[in-house]
Amino acid sequence: MTQDKQAPSAAGNRPLLFDSHAHLVADDQVRYPRNPMTRPSSAPPRPPGVIGKPGGKHGPNPINEVPDVSRMLVWMKEENVDGAVAVQKRMIYRYDNSYILDSSDAYPEIFSAVVILDAEDAATPGLVRSYIEKNGLAGVRLFGSREADGSMPWLNSPQALKTWEVAEEFGLVIDLEVLAVGGGGPSVPAIIELARRYPNVRIVLDHLLEPEATEGEHFGLDERFEKLAHEKNIFFKFTSINLDEYREANVPAEKVLRRAVDMFGADHIMWGSDIGTSSGTYKEMVQRMIDASVLLNEAEKRAVWHDTGKRVFVKGGARR
């Protein structure tokens, strides 16, 4: 992997952006062998038109890019994205985080790594500590099984709490994919308890928790979610998965984002492309986010597009 210390430079009239959710996938399958897995039956349902699935409003032949670092650097430069969080692609590499760690090491001013690890594996806390010390890890995305009601009993299990303790020590991000099914998300009380128990951990919730956007006048972001707004160490990603879901459901994305900013604050919401999972070119992903931000003021746009993500994801953690 060729090393380049230079961050992507400004491009055209694009605003400055920071991508909080990019799934890097290597072209080199010898050095980085793929070990694909089948999407588990307990995973949240994805209709056609979402996460690159054919059909829906993006048509039968969606563009599903393979974001090798060499291409990602070019796309970022073209779109004025000055940094990105390299999130492990579990469906391709499972728990082998080699590629995103190597990418973060090779381009430390550009990429920050968020590894995916098994919450119930006894080796996970030690791996997290090692990745922080050796690779300047920015975050860990814990995974485990999901119950039929959407709850995740591993989230605060005795074994998982050992990883939370390491994250607390270093001020690390713990990134969670939580489905807000069943009216606000069955795991929300546990997440709030963890946020209070580990105030130095920055909890980042992917895809805005995927609220049931066709519910009510507030697109599912109602009083059930207000309790999350009181926790200053809980943050949210607004990604192409959200935009795909709103497109397929005929929900105005700009109004959902306006509601989310009103509820949580622009300093707690960040854009993520979801490149490597969601469909479309990188240019299209950036443009869709810009289009969805028309109801935000200039300061809010700067925060959501760039500043929040850049501030929250810190290589090696934000130890106090």
Angle between helices 124-135 and 98-106 (to 10 degrees): 20
The amino acid sitting at 89 is: K
How much is the mean pLDDT over the chain?
A: 91
d(CA 89, CA 84): 14
**Span 251-269, average pLDDT:** 98
Q: How far apart are CA 262 and CA 218, in angstroms?
A: 11
State how far the Cα of 236 lies from the Cα of 260, in Å rounded to an integer: 9
pLDDT band at residue 7 under the 50/70/90 scheme: very low
pLDDT at position 5: 46
Burial 204-230 (b: 16+ CB within 10 A, else e): bbbbbbbbbbeeeebbbbbebbeebbe
Give tens-digit pLDDT for 290-310.
999 999 999 999 999 999 999
Provide the pLDDT confidence category of residue 104 given band limits of 50, 70 and 90: very high
CA distance 146 to 259: 28
What 8-state DSSP symbol labels residue 275? B
The stretch 129-140 carries a mean pLDDT of 98
Handedness of CA 74, 78, 80, 84 (dihedral sign): negative
The domain ranges of the chain are 19-29+41-312
Count Cβ atoms below 10 Å from residue 183 Cβ, excluding itself. 15
156-199 tens-digit pLDDT: 999 999 999 999 999 999 999 877 665 447 788 999 999 999 99
Distance of CA 161 to the CA centre of its chain: 21
Number of C-beta neighbours around residue 258 at 10 A: 18
pLDDT in the model for residue 39: 76
Residue 181: its pLDDT value, please? 60
Tokens of 58: 């993006």
The average pLDDT across 272-289 equals 96
pLDDT(6) > 70:
no
What pLDDT was estimated at residue 9?
46
| 271: its two tokens | 């854009």
pTM over 0.85: yes
CATH top class, domain 19-29+41-312: alpha beta
